[in-house]
A and B are shown apart, each in its own frame.
Chain A
Amino acid sequence: MTARDGQYDRRRGLRRFVQLEGVAKQALDTGHVRLIAVAAGFALCFLVIAGRLIGLTALAPRDDGANLPAEARQVHSARAEILDRQGVLLAGNVRAVSLFANPRKVMDAARAASQLAAVLPGLEQENVLRALSSDRGFVWVKRQLSPRQQDAVNRLGIPGLGFADEERRVYPLGRLAAHVVGFTGVDREGLTGIEKGRDDDLSAGRTTTLSIDVRVQHALRAELLASVEEFQAIGAAAIVMDVHSGEIVAMVSLPDFDPDAKDEVPADNLFNRATLGVYEMGSTFKAFNTAAALEFGLAGLTDTYDASKPLRVARFTINDDHAKNRWLTVAEIFQYSSNIGSARMALDLGPDRQRAFLKSLGLLDRPQIEIPEVSAPMVPSPWREISTMTVAYGHGIAVSPLQMATAYSIVVNGGLAVTPTLIARRPDEQNPSPRILSERTSQSMRELLSLVVEDGTGKQAKAKGYLVGGKTGTAEKAGAGGYRRNALLSSFVAAFPIDDPRYVVFVALDEPKGIKRTFNFATAGWTAAPAVSRVVSRIAPLLGVAPAPGPAAVPSDSLLVSVSKDR
């Protein structure tokens, strides 16, 4: 290799160096420019993602059901509460979730159905499978799950299921006023009781305040339960009504039910005996007969009727249970509950006046009240003479306990009309009531009712410290082919305090059985009257009824008295 060659090589090498450097520099410059393009592309991507995030969260409304299927959305609205007259919650709402499915998105319907049936009691696997196998976009699987059930379903991790928030109707006091309050269906539409009767108001969000006082309601129910248990009755009904306003302060029907578990309740428990049941009331009807006789001026309290022997009319014979076998005054007829005397008074009254009078007390028409479970009475048709005689002592006519309480309120309140209600009336709500009977008749009736408790068939209705007046009624229930001697409806209607009545208490026991303590009697005086006594003792203080002055009201051997005497 020559020196010249070497110099050439070096020069070529240097040129190559320079050339390479140029290429590298150009490549690097290109790279840098394109790097900016790549970075800009990424920046754009991140910005789009950030924008989408803001759109999904900040701009989209929070999950208020808007993204739920239409079927799931409509259950969102709030239903108003039902309160008692003191503001105690009787029906309210709690948040609950309901499980729905989009069957088109459920991959393994059979597996999903068996898993769901395993964690959700009361769910039929075949039904779920059928629903999940359908070609619909929305099916309810189960409504109103507990949080625990929701968690269990979530843990299954089944695709295609979803939860919709909704509110579940709850009844914090359970059975206490179940028949009055009623209950709703799964879509929270009212089905029975106030829930049905006031459905429009409640679903429009208007709170309903009942005339019911839960304290009185509890006392009434507790005492009624005790009597049902003691006398092995198949059922019972009771009402406490304000005689002036017609407000029902307490209303109980037994057996009752838990509205939160209404699905497992036998139909008999749902039956409201206080309003839907109509019964031949028996002797309690004599109050109306006597009031009519007094009102129409047919007889005074001291006028007498022949009750010395059974009364034969056509093929019927009318007997007395507590027969005196002599002539009785009008007062005595009522006091000793004489069927014969009552029938004779009714004959004087005549069918037309009798019907008109009973109609004015609301006993012949379907009563108006805010719950749908109301029956029309069963009245004689045609209304013959014999009907007039039997109706006088409460047979051949069947009315509801609600009607009895209302009619008694009119009889004892001074004779003014009463419209029964389950809704609390405002104190200023004074509507002038038409007069049904005279003040004087009402006064006489109070005296007669007082007499029955003082010295008549209703002695056991006496309540220590309070003046109670009332009337017993023991009716044999009609069965196939006649009256059944051992199936009684024993009732007692009381008013207290009888000198200036404020409340009427109606208690009826359905088929009570006589026990040893009552000498095997199951009649009203032995069964319903003591219950009324206990009820009055308990509720009078709650209702602000002062004890009557007199020896009965003063504790005779109180320690306080003796101490103060010593001083």
Chain B
Amino acid sequence: MIDFGRTDRSVVGRWWWTVDRWTLLVLLLTMAVGVFLIMAASPAVADRIGLESFHFVRRQILFLVPALLALFGMSLLPVLWVRRIAVVGFVLSLVLLVGTLIGGDSIKGARRWLDFGGFLLQPSEFAKPTFAVFAAWMLSQRVTQPGFPGYTFATVAAAILIGLLLLQPDVGMTLVVACVWVAQMFLAGIPLFVVAVIAAVGAVGAIGAYALFPHVAARIDRFLDPSSGDTFQIDASLNAFGNGGLFGTGPGEGIVKSILPDAHADFIFAVAGEELGLFASLAVVILFAFLVLRGLVRLLRESDLFVVLASAGILVQIGLQAVINMGVNVRLLPAKGMTLPFISYGGSSLLALAIGMGFVLALTRRRPGVATMNANRSVISRAQVTGVAGIPISQGGAS
């Protein structure tokens, strides 16, 4: 590893000593696992649809370059700039989402992509982390400025985003965004009975989705009663885990990838289970558990509500995607198209996730002078800190 002296005051030097290097390491590891699994899973898919065998592998490695740059670049930002970039990004995402409805490419019955010279951009991926930061800003403002309608603004933003996602339609993304919004409202301190009301509304919404979208209804029917329809993908996925056993069939030796259309994306976890076995798939679970739980636990020491809400929102988003994807793969949840963060194939997804985790790394960097929960703090310094949300106090020196 590159060695920076403790006294190195350069941007990168300061970054190295303040960023959470464990999270960074696990992120890089997860992305490496992703490339490895795509290498195993995608040639079968590529061959089947008439592409050159390593098409997806090449593309994924290519996507890694901007993703790593974004991860690193975002993690360098001060908190204020994270907020600014995220807010601009959120507005831009909303505009692009409207664009998908007008001029988007329809793939498999949904308008989710915009064609940028051969690269299909999926704006909803970018909307998720930027929404989390925007909502966190709104919710934290409520605390610092009495009377600021933070709940309302966050809810309106969530409603607009959810509305656009439902128009595509993209039920999976809707679910993730709704959960991020609820989690952030919950963390921001809404009364528990409101949480209960939201849960009730969510249940109604789920029933509504069941009633409104035939494909949602079909998938839930099939989950509840496998004999009611085609459970081919899930069956194949389950067989893959059984076939893999403890140590797997060996990289490249699996067969599930040759029969599942989305082996390199939504069902990549099944490929891991078959070819690398139980221990490797448990390792993948542990990677995500580490990423999410460590991120959340570290926030316990964080004193800036904006940082807590924004980071938690993004971690909930990533954790939820991982849980849903793996849950579908092992048939704990009904079939739902959801990528496994940092591992599934997909350029937009990878870049947006990198930006999101870049935000988290930037927000949770140890800021000299920012008191932690355990330290004694002076009232004045807290007032200065919270006067403008997110600005590190170090600028003027404490007290």
A: residues with CB less than 8 A from B are 17-18, 20-21, 23-28, 30-32, 34-36, 38-39, 42-43, 45-46, 48-50, 52-54, 56-58, 60-63, 67, 104-105, 107, 154-157, 159-161
Chain B residue at minimal CB-CB distance from A157: B48
Which residues from A are CB-within-8-Å of B285? 46, 49-50, 53
Query: Is residue B246 contacting chain A, with contact meaning CB distance below 8 A?
Result: yes
Contact B144 A57 (CB under 8 A): no
Chain B residue at minimal CB-CB distance from A30: B189
Contact B332 A52 (CB under 8 A): yes
Which residues from B are CB-within-8-Å of A34? 186-187, 189
Contact B289 A28 (CB under 8 A): no
Contact A154 B281 (CB under 8 A): no
Which residues from B are CB-within-8-Å of A58? 245-246, 278
Contact B143 A54 (CB under 8 A): no
Which residues from A are CB-within-8-Å of B232? 105, 159-160
28 A–B contacts from the bound complex (CB under 8 Å): A17-B383, A20-B143, A20-B146, A20-B383, A24-B386, A27-B189, A27-B305, A30-B189, A35-B312, A38-B187, A39-B292, A42-B289, A46-B286, A46-B323, A49-B330, A53-B278, A53-B285, A56-B238, A56-B241, A56-B242, A60-B242, A62-B242, A104-B230, A105-B230, A157-B261, A159-B232, A160-B232, A161-B259
Which residues from B are CB-within-8-Å of A27? 143, 188-189, 305
Contact A62 B323 (CB under 8 A): no
Instruction: Say which residue of A24, A53, A63, A160 sits within 8 Å of B230 (CB atoms).
Output: A160
Expressed in whole angstroms, the minimum distance between the Cβ of B181 and any Cβ of chain A is 13
Instruction: Say which residue of B144, B146, B186, B282 sits within 8 Å of A38 (CB atoms).
Output: B186
From known contacts A30-B189, A31-B188, A58-B278, infer whether A53 and B308 are also in contact, taking CB-CB under 8 Å. Answer: no
From known contacts A46-B285, A49-B323, infer whether A17 and B379 are also in contact, taking CB-CB under 8 Å. Answer: yes
Contact B332 A42 (CB under 8 A): no
Contact A31 B305 (CB under 8 A): yes
Expressed in whole angstroms, the minimum distance between the Cβ of A273 and any Cβ of chain B is 47
Instruction: Say which residue of A24, A35, A157 sits within 8 Å of B144 (CB atoms).
Output: A24
Contact A38 B289 (CB under 8 A): no
In the docked arrangement, what's the CA distance between A63 and B386, Å? 60
Instruction: Say which residue of B144, B245, B319 sits within 8 Å of A42 (CB atoms).
Output: B319
Residue from B242, B278, B303 having most chain A Cβ neighbours under 10 A: B242
Supply 11 further A-B pairs (C-beta < 8 A) apart from A38-B312, A46-B285.
A17-B383, A27-B143, A27-B189, A48-B332, A49-B323, A49-B330, A53-B281, A57-B277, A57-B278, A154-B44, A159-B230
Expressed in whole angstroms, the minimum distance between the Cβ of A446 and any Cβ of chain B is 67
Chain B residue at minimal CB-CB distance from A46: B289
Segment touching A, from B65-73, B170-178, B293-301: B293-301
Which residues from A are CB-within-8-Å of B146? 20, 23
Query: Is residue B244 contacting chain A, with contact meaning CB distance below 8 A?
Result: yes
Contact A28 B278 (CB under 8 A): no
From known contacts A34-B186, A63-B242, infer whether A57 and B296 are also in contact, taking CB-CB under 8 Å. Answer: no
Which residues from A are CB-within-8-Å of B327? 45, 49
Count residues of chain B with CB under 8 A from any CB of chain A.
Answer: 60
Contact B259 A20 (CB under 8 A): no
Which residues from A are CB-within-8-Å of B233? 159
Q: Which 4 A-B pairs have the closest CB atoms?
A: A56-B241, A46-B289, A39-B296, A154-B258
Contact A45 B323 (CB under 8 A): yes
Query: Is residue B47 contacting chain A, with contact meaning CB distance below 8 A?
Result: yes
- Give the tally of cross-chain contacts (CB within 8 A): 151
From known contacts A24-B143, A49-B285, A56-B238, infer whether A154 and B259 are also in contact, taking CB-CB under 8 Å. Answer: yes
In the docked arrangement, what's the CA distance between A42 and B326, Å? 13
In the docked arrangement, what's the CA distance between A33 and B276, Å? 38
Expressed in whole angstroms, the minimum distance between the Cβ of A474 and any Cβ of chain B is 63
Which residues from B are CB-within-8-Å of A25? 382
Task: Specify the main secondary structure of chain B where it touches its partner.
Answer: helix
Contact A21 B386 (CB under 8 A): yes
Contact A157 B259 (CB under 8 A): yes
In the docked arrangement, what's the CA distance between A154 and B232, Å? 14
In the docked arrangement, what's the CA distance between A58 and B245, Å? 6
Which residues from B are CB-within-8-Å of A154? 44, 255, 258-259
Which residues from A are CB-within-8-Å of B281? 53, 57
Query: Is residue B273 contacting chain A, with contact meaning CB distance below 8 A?
Result: yes
Contact B297 A38 (CB under 8 A): no
Query: Is residue B183 contacting chain A, with contact meaning CB distance below 8 A?
Result: yes
Which residues from A are CB-within-8-Å of B323? 42, 45-46, 49
In the docked arrangement, what's the CA distance between A61 and B241, Å? 11
Which residues from B are CB-within-8-Å of A20? 143-144, 146, 383, 386
Contact B305 A63 (CB under 8 A): no
In the docked arrangement, what's the CA distance between A24 and B385, Å? 11
In the docked arrangement, what's the CA distance between A156 and B241, Å? 22
Query: Is residue B23 contacting chain A, with contact meaning CB distance below 8 A?
Result: no
Contact A67 B278 (CB under 8 A): no
Contact B300 A35 (CB under 8 A): yes
Instruction: Say which residue of A18, A23, A43, A48 sits within 8 Å of B143 (CB atoms).
Output: A23
Chain A residue at minimal CB-CB distance from B238: A56
Query: Is residue B243 contacting chain A, with contact meaning CB distance below 8 A?
Result: yes
Which residues from B are CB-within-8-Å of A105? 230-232
In the docked arrangement, what's the CA distance between A405 and B109, Å? 78
Query: Is residue B35 contacting chain A, with contact meaning CB distance below 8 A?
Result: no
Instruction: Say which residue of A23, A39, A48, A53 sits within 8 Å of B273 (CB atoms).
Output: A53
Which residues from A are CB-within-8-Å of B113? none
Contact A57 B143 (CB under 8 A): no
Contact B293 A53 (CB under 8 A): no
Expressed in whole angstroms, the minimum distance between the Cβ of B196 and any Cβ of chain A is 14
Expressed in whole angstroms, the minimum distance between the Cβ of A118 and any Cβ of chain B is 15
Query: Is residue B342 contacting chain A, with contact meaning CB distance below 8 A?
Result: no
Expressed in whole angstroms, the minimum distance between the Cβ of A161 and any Cβ of chain B is 8
In the docked arrangement, what's the CA distance between A3 and B303, Å? 37
Interface string of B200-215 (1 = CB under 8 A from A): 0000000000000000
From known contacts A31-B305, A35-B308, infer whether A53 and B241 are also in contact, taking CB-CB under 8 Å. Answer: yes
Expressed in whole angstroms, the minimum distance between the Cβ of B245 and any Cβ of chain A is 5
Which residues from B are CB-within-8-Å of A21? 379, 382-383, 386
Expressed in whole angstroms, the minimum distance between the Cβ of B373 and any Cβ of chain A is 8
In the docked arrangement, what's the CA distance between A63 and B326, Å? 21
